[in-house]
A and B are shown apart, each in its own frame.
Chain A
């Protein structure tokens, strides 16, 4: 393994920026965001996680899926598929695992080329966690604090430097030429392991062997929920989208856009002709929780929750999916 001095990390990113678009964390008004780094952006290494999940770089909030032009009888349809090689720096293990969940959805039966194209063109440099955030619970789902697969490079904070472990050939080649990386010693590796273990030990673990969703705990929270949608939009594994056509009838040009949608919206299941099989609040709340904790494991053999804790930090009504999970374990 290699290591890099803490102060050299920004230099490494600037090196990478010569050949790739680099996405890295920045702080704005005290809130952390992942951003495509440009001149003048100040990268931060002092954060737990971003406010909004990294999924927006793979499944954007809005994207064009095709364009069409209509001139008289002629209709041309063109897909809009373009992406270039990029490096995503600073993604946490829980969010990497969230991308693995999104991968299984994107590949099921039909491949989603827009998502997969971005995914295949992005190298991930993950930052393991040595201290949990207030609402983190990755250890419940084994999605952190350490990362053994899913990223190309993994960095672990040793204090004044970071241990650098390459999990893939692309990861290794990405930094093989850099003079900022030095060889790490066995002591460094042991120190990293110890810090990760200490982090994991301080976090909650649950035996999900006999887990089944406890419906009573859900009903109580469904009353409190404001159906504000913010959990679905900041969640790294939520993927539902709506599709709409836009057309400029004068120029004859139009496009088809897809954009994030939320199952908490009452018209999520509304059909033309006024039939809505899930218009009740409790039904929607129940569907969301069950989708994450029961339907996803049933279809894809992974839980739809990675324990990042963003929904818990943000919920205005103080609802915690971890509380619901705990109720489903203690039987």
Chain B
């Protein structure tokens, strides 16, 4: 019987500063064949293990990116890692975005803060497999412009997709929109019949974006949500990540809204 609790040792190829509290670890994992939206369990031996969405596209065969925000006892140690260090990974786990089901359709990505990480995996996949998909719009907001992640991709995205940015608060050097990300919805006019909305971000942001999407008459089956919950095992055994009878680690983290609509605990 194989042991799903044993991590595989991998080397850190590079560490990239995304913002003041987010770093991306580039790991030596080849041909990951993951679905955009899946996650890995990242082990820092001696400190702990955390679930992290894979933020790179599976089309990039030589590495995977895990973007980690510094918020706790394990992530603070991750932020001290350097290229050459060894970490452990288990995965990829979970159900990612239904890439095949949305082929040929338009896509509306709505991200908040670090929530852009799993979305980037899908966005870059579309960048590399462009023909399979229709028009792509990306609405992204963060607390301040300095908190925005993957800024180095924005020019690329602007050239291929429709990108809109917004910050909750003013900051020096930011001349763009100020407000919450669901305000950006009024900047786009998606063809509702042929568009999938894909949302990921803090819980309050997702709840409010969902309300706006429903006001725009988006059908429940065309809204994809990526949830985050406390996870330990990542394989449906430890019981921490449940939303009703669904486990975010094995039935999610991506859920179609119509499948979880009735659950009272989705927003916390």
Touch between A and B in complex, CB under 8 Å? yes
Please, which residues of chain B bring their CB within 8 A of the CB of A239? Answer: 237, 239
Task: State the CA gap A287–B242 with chains docked (Å).
Answer: 9
* A253-281 interface with B by 8 A CB criterion: 254, 256, 258, 261, 263, 268-273, 275-278
Whether B174 sits at the interface, judged by CB under 8 Å, is no
Q: Does A208 contact B (CB under 8 A)?
A: no
**Among B1, B202, B267, which residue has its beta carbon within 8 angstroms of that of A113?**
B1
B245 interface residue per 8 A CB criterion: yes
Which of A240, A245, A277 has a CB less than 8 Å from the CB of B238?
A240
Q: Tell me the bound Cα distance from A298 to B263 in angstroms.
A: 14
Is B238 within 8 A of A243, CB to CB?
A: yes
The residue that B86 contacts in the complex, of A75, A261, A277, A291, with Cβ under 8 A, is A75
B5 at interface, CB cutoff 8 A = yes
B193 at the A interface (CB under 8 A): no
Give the docked Cα–Cα distance between A117 and B250 (Å): 23
Total A-B residue pairs with C-beta atoms closer than 8 Å?
Answer: 129
Closest A residue by C-beta to B75: A272
Residues from chain A with Cβ under 8 Å of B203 in the complex: 275, 277
With an 8 A cutoff between CB atoms, is B173 at the interface?
no
A116 to B236, CA, bound (A): 15
In B251-268, the 8 Å CB interface with A consists of 265, 267-268
CB pair A247–B245 under 8 Å, yes or no, is no
Measured between C-beta atoms, what is the minimum distance from B43 to chain A in Å? 8
- Residues of B196-218 at the interface with A, using a CB-CB cut-off of 8 Å, are 202-203
Is there an interface contact between B71 and A241, defined as CB atoms closer than 8 Å?
no
- Determine how close the nearest CB of chain B comes to the CB of A62; give it in whole angstroms: 14
Distance in angstroms from B5 CB to nearest chain A CB is 5
A214 contacts the other chain (Cβ, under 8 Å)? no
CA distance A66 to B46 in the complex (A): 11
Q: Is the beta-carbon distance between A73 and B86 smaller than 8 angstroms?
A: yes
Tell me whether A275 and B202 are in contact (CB under 8 A).
yes
Enumerate chain A residues within 8 angstroms of B2, measured Cβ to Cβ.
111, 113
Q: B240 an interface residue at 8 Å Cβ cutoff?
A: yes
The answer to whether residues A113 and B71 also contact, given A73-B86, A241-B232, A277-B203 and a CB cut-off of 8 A, is no
Q: Which residue of A lies closest to B76 (CB)?
A: A272
Contacting residues, chain B, for A241 (C-beta < 8 A): 232-233, 237-239
A323 interface residue (CB < 8 Å to B):
no
Tally of chain B residues near chain A (CB < 8 A): 44
Does B230 reach chain A (CB closer than 8 Å)? yes
A182 CB within 8 Å of chain B: no
Q: A275-B268, A294-B245, A295-B244 are in contact. Are A244 and B48 (CB under 8 A)?
A: yes
A254 to B48, CA, bound (A): 11
B229 CB, min distance to chain A CBs, angstroms: 7
Interface residues of B in 1-29 (CB under 8 A from A): 1-7, 9
Chain A neighbourhood of B245, CB < 8 A: 294-296, 298-299
- Contact flags (1/0) for B117-133 with A, using CB distance below 8 Å? 00000000000000000
The answer to whether A242 has its CB under 8 Å from any CB of chain B is yes
Contact with A along B57-95 (1 / 0, CB 8 A): 000000000000101111100000000101010000000
Binding site for B on A (CB under 8 A): 65-66, 68, 70, 73, 75, 77, 79, 81, 105-106, 108-114, 116-117, 239-247, 249, 254, 256, 258, 261, 263, 268-273, 275-278, 283, 287, 290-291, 294-296, 298-299
Task: Give me 17 A-to-B residue pairs in the complex whose CB atoms sit less than 8 angstroms apart, sorted by A's number.
Answer: A66-B5, A70-B45, A73-B84, A111-B1, A114-B5, A116-B1, A239-B237, A241-B239, A243-B48, A243-B238, A247-B45, A268-B230, A272-B71, A273-B69, A275-B268, A290-B244, A296-B245
Q: Which residues of B contact A (CB under 8 A)?
A: 1-7, 9, 43-49, 69, 71-75, 84, 86, 88, 202-203, 228-230, 232-233, 235-240, 242, 244-245, 250, 265, 267-268
